[in-house]
Structure 1
Amino acid sequence: MNTWMTTPELVERVENSELVYMLDRMKAIQERENNPMGIALQRFGSALALASRQMPWPQFNTVKGFGSAGAAQLDEVLKWYKEQGGSPQFEIVPSRTDGETLLALAKQGFYQSGFHANMAGSIAEQADVKLEQRQTGIVVRRLSENEIDLYAELHAFGSGLPIAGKNHIADNNRMLFSREGWQFYAAELDHVAVGVGVMHIHEHTASLTFAATLPEYRQRGVQAALIASRLRAAAQAGCSLIVGQAAYCSSSHRNMERAGMSLCYTRGTWSRLPFS
């Protein structure tokens, strides 16, 4: 990985990569017959509002790209979410907001509820992406569309979701296998699939969008192998930048650092006060 410097242009590119893949993911779910997840999407200037009536989790009901013009748009954004039957969270990038916007959020009953690490690194020439692994014998391969059930099962068990939700995971990801830019991977240990990773490529930027390992196989280098394989694939695809998101100071954060990625910014999450 090459050395790089944080600039406003880099921050914008990193933020946009997350916005692009999440928009494409939500569009794919929305395009399912009769839009069963109740997906709605709306632009407010540079901000993108995502909503789902059937998936109440914050990541599917969030405002991305909410910048320094946010104060003037906030009433309109909240009115739109009320029409969708829900309430959003706002993702705030430090260098792309201002005190007026943050004060407007506070006045509407929002508070900063969390932090998220947005990582980035430039990809060296095609390369020879090297990443130390704590255990040999891990094989990473691309998944095909007919392995969606395997992916859904590993996604559920690896992220702590009930297996009863496996079919929903499969339905919401099936169309991404054939959608441009998406790549799904499985990590195998002794011929047993123990982890999964997903990558989205857009305009020479590769985003590490999801990863999970079965609990009993953690701390054995599975995620390191998945990151290394996706980095190699990104280099082969001609990407110049690799980005990823993780809970701050988490094992995923550290795995990305071991791969040569660095912290680009710490994103703030703003949620509505429970009693407001």
Structure 2
Amino acid sequence: MIPSFPSEPLIVDIESSEVDYMTDRMKAIEERDGNPEGVEITRIGHAVCLYSKSMPWPSFNTVKGIRSEDIPYIDDIIHFYRSRDRKFQIEVVPSLVDQKLLKALADKGMYQSGFHTSMYINPESLTDEFHWAAIDIRPLKRDEFEKYATVHCIGTGLPQQGIPSVARNNEVLYDRPGWRFFMAYINDNPAAAGVMYVKGDIASLTFAATLPEYRRQGLQQGLLRRRIAEAARESCRMVVSQCSFISPSHRNMERVGMKLGYVRTAWTER
């Protein structure tokens, strides 16, 4: 069972699930022949530092799990990214750091640049799974990663020339323990996708996107319910997910019963 209100142990569990899924994802990409994306993962103190040479986006160049005890290592963390000529962000989770760390980050020339929301739910509390005749949600097949990557890129606004790379970087997760991919179809046309990672008794809803022409048709609520129900069948005690604060994704998660765990901040160099 999980508490009905946020607590420090709950927050630690949520953050750990986010660190676990992103670390495993990056390791899988790193293990591709020749490490074509130039992935590096290193731990400095409590912090896990993720880096990719060819993928400059913040989610692939971020510091997770930092604690106040890591103040002596802030220079080492900054050097790790500066030596690779990469802009990065440090994720700070409330209640797991104190004012001293925040001041230390500011003293090193960093500023609070954004917010991100982490949500959670006990999967047994899901009252019903999504059923709508017009929408078919099913597990992704091994030979469907080009379809998945098309939804991923177009649904998130990434350039379409990146579709082959996104397909390869996700295909390596197909047989990797814990990973589940789902595709939603309307009239047998791929319309939306959702991904889940399970480790122990916690499931993370790691990614979701919908093609623009199929939005506002309940696809994301359907994918949320399908993955939460799948987590319940796998005896998970908690499902967590991330979203931009008061975004459409946030509202969809609230609608299916997910609760606010915390709002973390991102810190970036000036």
Taking structure 1 as the reference length, the TM-score comes to 0.94
2:5 partner SS: coil
Aligned residue among 196, 204, 209 for 2:206: 209
Deviation at 1:84, TM superposition (A): 2.8
Aligned partner of 1:121 in structure 2 is 121
Partner AA of 2:258 in structure 1: M
Deviation at 1:232, TM superposition (A): 0.9
User: In the aligned structure 1, how far is the partner of 2:142 from the partner of 2:263?
Assistant: 34
Aligned partner of 2:220 in structure 1 is 223
User: In the aligned structure 2, how far is the partner of 1:73 from the partner of 1:162?
Assistant: 37
User: In the aligned structure 1, how far is the partner of 2:2 from the partner of 2:22?
Assistant: 27
User: In the aligned structure 2, how far is the partner of 1:11 from the partner of 1:49?
Assistant: 20
Moved over 4 A (4+): none
Aligned residue among 155, 173, 191 for 2:152: 155
Deviation at 1:8, TM superposition (A): 0.7
2:37 partner SS: coil
Deviation at 1:87, TM superposition (A): 3.3
Partner AA of 2:147 in structure 1: L
Aligned partner of 1:254 in structure 2 is 251
User: In the aligned structure 2, how far is the partner of 1:8 from the partner of 1:136?
Assistant: 42
Aligned partner of 1:40 in structure 2 is 40
- Equivalent pair of 1:194/1:214 in contact (CA under 8 Å): yes
2:54 partner SS: coil
User: In the aligned structure 2, how far is the partner of 1:268 from the partner of 1:82?
Assistant: 21
Partner AA of 1:147 in structure 2: E
User: In the aligned structure 2, how far is the partner of 1:141 from the partner of 1:132?
Assistant: 12
Aligned residue among 182, 186, 204 for 2:183: 186
Partner AA of 1:235 in structure 2: A
- Equivalent pair of 1:3/1:122 in contact (CA under 8 Å): no
User: In the aligned structure 2, how far is the partner of 1:46 from the partner of 1:74?
Assistant: 11
Deviation at 1:11, TM superposition (A): 0.2
Partner AA of 2:128 in structure 1: K
Partner AA of 1:141 in structure 2: R
Deviation at 1:62, TM superposition (A): 0.4
Taking structure 2 as the reference length, the TM-score comes to 0.96
- Equivalent pair of 1:138/1:190 in contact (CA under 8 Å): yes
In the alignment, structure 1 segments of 5+ residues that lack a partner are none
> For residues 132 and 3 of structure 1, do their structure 2 counterparts lie closer, same or farther at Cα, with a shift above 3 Å needed?
farther
1:271 partner SS: strand
Aligned partner of 1:78 in structure 2 is 78
Corresponding position: 1:109 with 2:106: no
1:261-276 matches, cutoff 5 A:
261-273=258-270
Aligned partner of 1:98 in structure 2 is 98
Aligned residue among 119, 135, 155 for 1:138: 135
* CA RMSD of superposed structures (Å): 1.7
Aligned partner of 1:15 in structure 2 is 15
User: In the aligned structure 2, how far is the partner of 1:124 from the partner of 1:171?
Assistant: 34
User: In the aligned structure 1, how far is the partner of 2:268 from the partner of 2:6?
Assistant: 27
Percent of paired sites with the same residue: 42
Residue deviations 1:175-216, cap 9 Å, x none? 101100000000011221100000000111010000000111
Kindly tell me the number of residue pairs found equivalent between the two proteins: 270
Partner AA of 1:268 in structure 2: T
User: In the aligned structure 1, how far is the partner of 2:84 from the partner of 2:19?
Assistant: 20
- Equivalent pair of 2:224/2:253 in contact (CA under 8 Å): yes
Residue deviations 1:214-251, cap 9 Å, x none? 11111110001101110111011110101000000001
In the alignment, structure 2 segments of 5+ residues that lack a partner are none
Deviation at 1:45, TM superposition (A): 2.1
